[in-house]
A = this chain, B = another copy of it.
Amino acid sequence: MIVVDYKDTRPIYEQIVERFQNLILTGVLKVDEQLPSVRSLAMELSINPNTIQKAYSELERRGFIYTVKGKGNFVTYKEELMEYKKKELKKKIDDVVEEAEEVGIAKATIIYYLENGGDSL
């Protein structure tokens, strides 16, 4: 379910955070479903429990999971997550548009590219 890419320059805990985010947002992990425990996942991936813990803390901070001491980590109610994801997406889209405009590519050109693809940028 979770894979670590050692060729990736990003820290392991970030990779884990992103992987779980995707699993949750795509519905592979259902609402209130339990995530692997800190220790078991660490064992499975042959990495330190502290690294998993760091990833889980970040996922909780971002609102993707909630933690119950002594029980485990669980997936948050999905609607809240969609809101989070939408915000992220909007930010990315706005960034791209801004970046394009800095080099003289208008928003309309981007829309045209989205509609027609290919070399239309």
Q: How far is the CA of A104 from the CA of B100 in the complex (A)?
A: 25
Asked if B102 and A26 make an inter-chain contact with CB atoms under 8 angstroms apart, the answer reads yes
Does A45 lie at the interface of the complex (its beta carbon under 8 Å from any beta carbon of B)?
A: no
Majority SS at the chain A contact face:
helix
Q: How many monomers of this protein are in the complex?
A: 2
Number of A residues contacting the other chain (C-beta, 8 Å)? 24
Knowing A25-B102, A103-B26, say if A113 contacts B90 (CB, 8 Å).
Answer: yes
From B25, B93, B107, contact of A110 by CB (8 A): B93
CB distance from A111 to the nearest CB of B (A): 5
* Contact sample, A vs B, 14 pairs, CB 8 Å cutoff: A25-B102, A25-B103, A86-B121, A89-B96, A90-B121, A92-B92, A92-B96, A93-B96, A93-B114, A107-B114, A110-B114, A111-B111, A111-B114, A114-B114
